[in-house]
Structure 1
Amino acid sequence: MKTVHLIAAARPNFMKVAPLWHALRASGEFEPRLIHTGQHYDPNLSDAIFADLSLPQPDFHLGVGSGSHATQTGNVMIGYEKIAIEHRPDWLVVVGDVNSTLACALVGAKLRVPTVHLEAGLRSGDRDMPEEINRLATDVIADVLWTPSPDADANLLAEGIPGTRITRVGNIMLDSFEMVRPEVEAAAEWEAQGVQRGTYGVVTLHRPSNVDGADRLEALVAALIGLQRRIPLVFPVHPRTAARLAQSGMVARLAQAGVRLAEPLPYKRFMSLVLGSRIVITDSGGIQEETTYLGIPCCTLRNNTERPITISQGTNRLVTLATLDRAVDEATGQQYQPRRPEYWDGQTAARCVADLNARSYPVGSKE
């Protein structure tokens, strides 16, 4: 039986890892072992997801916590290298684009452990985003690249990656959603937040470009207050954003305007909130895909997206603070039917396992 190390660091990682863990376990061919780097350490952003997605407690927990990009990346490398040397896997799977993704991929490459990048090939074209650097570097050094969509394949081929290293498996985030969909629908989180289904907007904002600068944050708060006058807003506040709002004294302004501020929500409750919403306003990545899958309009408050298929085939649109009002009005005035890209079907984890079985070269064969 081949051992597979699955790296989880941030909330979206857990949602991508969970279906793969279950599929590997069920195959009888692989023994999955879960490594939690501790990059996200808020219980609602990490620990609760294990219960929501029926994951066991991690086999290893690095507990790296916060820090600069260099500090975090270095600490993950140091911690995971010890584990990989002592408990060498047959395969290493890294997911997404956080610092832990690149750090563990570097360890795998240097120790000559066959390394897979799940959700490979996504590109925003914006190297001011730390995640873009992580994506580019991880895809260069990983042995196998599992992509979610045709544009990701094209990006990798354009960068000179051999096609033999690329397998399009689809969007594994949607496997997670389908695993727990009945419970998500039953949760009725909108009732807990005091809003009616289909009438409200969900806000998720955490990127430094939106929340770190005082002037930008003030403008963002003003824009949300303006929107609240037309559509009730529920805002589960990321810890980073909560700290910035508290420092600037803007929590009271949002609350007084009627914006419903909430703690970060566990996965099932959060997806229930999204499922019942009229629109989502975000700067996150995965939720652009989930809203496309569900046919819910999404306004992404960024200059670019590494998921352009959510615009060309989905319900997503890029907005600025200047265009947000108009975009929300236009989006909420339309009816959407889900247009799901190929392989966005809840069966991605099975394709991942099949690809490992098809490749299945032994440890050390790259040398």
Structure 2
Amino acid sequence: MTTIYILIGTRPNFIKVTQFKKEVAKYPNLALKLIHTGQHSGAAMADVFFEQFQLQPDYFLNIAQATPIQQIAAILVELETLINTIGKPNYLMVVGDVNSTLAGTLVANKMEIPLMHLESGLRSFDNTMPEEHNRIVTDALTNCFFTTEEVANENLLAEKKLAKNLHYVGNTMIDTLVAFKQNIDASTILDDKKIIPTTYCLMTMHRPSNVDTAAGLSVIVDLIQYITSTHKVVFPIHPRTYNNLKKYNLLTLLEVIPNLLFTEPLDYFAFQKLIKHSAFVITDSGGVQEETTFNHVPCLTLRNNTERPITCTLGTNTLCNADNIKPFIKQIIEGKYKKGIVPPLWDGKATQRIVEVWSKL
């Protein structure tokens, strides 16, 4: 019997692991336990996702919300204690690039547990990003790499990883989109908010580079004012973004725009329906770049780089800045923007491929 623990901690992590228990159930030689660190917790940040996905973690660490250092330290201690209590697995798999990923990596290393990394090899080559630090450290200590795109394989090979340890499996986030398509289509968010399909821009902004300064937020305000002259803007606003708009006295400029709709943080099904039926999306999120590409929705990413380059080279995504984003918006409105294609292996079967690898360990 091969036992694998998956460590998750944030909303993007939850979305990437929804199909593992179903696939593992097909193999009598595999046992799986799901451990939630509590990095994201509470009704809106965690519980609603577990409820919608019918996904119940086997263990909760329930760390206190704190600074990144305190979070990581708490996970180190709590995860070691849990593993000492329930027993060592044959493998620990970490997901993505968040604080829980880094903490799980260090625990696996110090406890001499072979480490798997789901979504390995992605690089923004921007060392100012905390996520980039997490990705690099995690892959430096990983034994088994599961990648979403060919560029990730190239990055890992350039870092002298052995080709035999790389498994190009596709994107488990897409597995969730495929598995829950009917639930997404059944969401009533458009009717509830009186939103007409394909007449709106969906916006998400949360990265410090965009929302932590008056200059960055002024770019967002200007964009909203520009877009709302032709399209509604639907903006599920991150608490960090909202608080900083208030802090810099910019919120009042937005509150008077009739074509702008702020919403509370949304559940997965509602948010995916908004993506699917939008005219275009403006974001700084990594996951949204992938979800828009799968849905053939134009995406403009307000960042200088991306760790997911296939969304630009094959997909519907374009990296933009304050100086060049408006011409791309004009292209979209005029129907002249690129169409994009869904990348290879983004077919809803990535989890199945990973579990097949597990079954042969």
Preserved CA contact (<8 Å) 2:175 2:351: yes
Q: Which residue of 2 aligns with 1:225?
A: 225
Structure 2: how far apart are the matches of 1:15 and 1:244?
A: 27
1:59 match:
58
Where does the alignment leave 5 or more consecutive residues of structure 2 unmatched?
Answer: none
Deviation string 1:274-332 (CA, Å, 9 cap, x unpaired) is 11111010000011111111110000000000011000001000011222222112133
Q: CA deviation at 1:227?
A: 1.6
Equivalence for 2:303: 302
The answer as to whether partners of 2:201 and 2:231 remain within 8 angstroms in 1 is yes
Q: Render the CA deviation track for 1:141-185: whole Å, top value 9, x for unaligned.
A: 011010001000000000111112111110110000111101111
State how far apart, in whole Å, the 2-side matches of 1:129 and 1:37 are.
22
CA root-mean-square deviation? 1.6
Determine the C-alpha separation between the residues in 2 that align with 1:138 and 1:20: 21
Equivalent runs, 1:251-266 vs 2, <5 Å? 251-258=251-258, 259-266=260-267
* CA-CA distance at 1:338 after TM superposition: 5.5
Give the superposition deviation at 1:3.
2.6
1:44 Cα deviation from its structure 2 partner: 2.1
State the partner residue of 1:363.
none
Say whether the 8 Å CA contact 2:328–2:337 is kept in structure 1. no
**Structure 2 match to 1:342:** 344
Residue of structure 1 equivalent to 2:236: 236
CA distance in structure 2 between the aligned counterparts of 1:112 and 1:270, rounded to whole angstroms: 40
- How many residues align? The count is 358
Amino acid in the other structure paired with 1:248 = Y
Q: What fraction of aligned residue pairs are identical, expressed as a percent? A: 37
| Structure 2 counterpart of 1:105 | 105
Deviation at 1:47, TM superposition (A): 1.5
1:29 CA drift (Å) = 3.0
Deviation at 1:216, TM superposition (A): 1.7
1:248-327 aligned within 5 A = 248-258=248-258, 259-327=260-328
Match of 1:354 among 327, 341, 356: 356
Report if aligned partners of 1:3, 1:31 keep a CA contact under 8 Å in 2.
yes
AA partner of residue 43 (structure 1): A
Q: CA deviation at 1:242?
A: 2.5
Report the CA distance between 1:349 and its aligned residue.
0.4
Q: Classify 1:29/1:329 alpha carbon distance in 2 versus 1 (closer, same or farther; 3 Å).
A: farther
TM-score, normalisation: structure 1:
0.93
Q: 5+ residue gaps in structure 1?
A: 361-367
Alignment of structure 1 residues 1-367 onto 2, 5 Å: 1-56=1-56, 58-87=57-86, 88-258=88-258, 259-332=260-333, 333-334=335-336, 337=339, 339-358=341-360, 360=361
The separation in 1 between residues aligned to 2:26 and 2:264, in whole angstroms, is 35
Paired with 1:241 and 1:63, the residues of 2 have a C-alpha distance of 25
Q: Give the alignment's TM-score, normalised by structure 2.
A: 0.95
Structure 2: distance between partners of 1:45 and 1:357: 33
SS of match in other structure, 1:126:
coil
Letter in 2 for 1:67: A
How far apart, in 1, do the equivalents of 2:255 and 2:210 lie? 19
Change (3 A) 1:216 1:338: closer
- Ranges of 4+ aligned residues in structure 1 off by more than 6 Å: none
Task: For 1:281, give the aligned amino acid.
Answer: I
Name the CA distance, whole Å, in 1 between partners of 2:53 and 2:286: 20
Question: CA-to-partner distance for each residue in 1:179-209, whole Å, 9 max, x for gaps?
Answer: 1101111214222222210111111110111
Structure-2 change in CA distance of 1:309 and 1:303 (3 Å): same
Q: CA deviation at 1:110?
A: 1.3
Q: Secondary structure at the match of 2:321?
A: coil
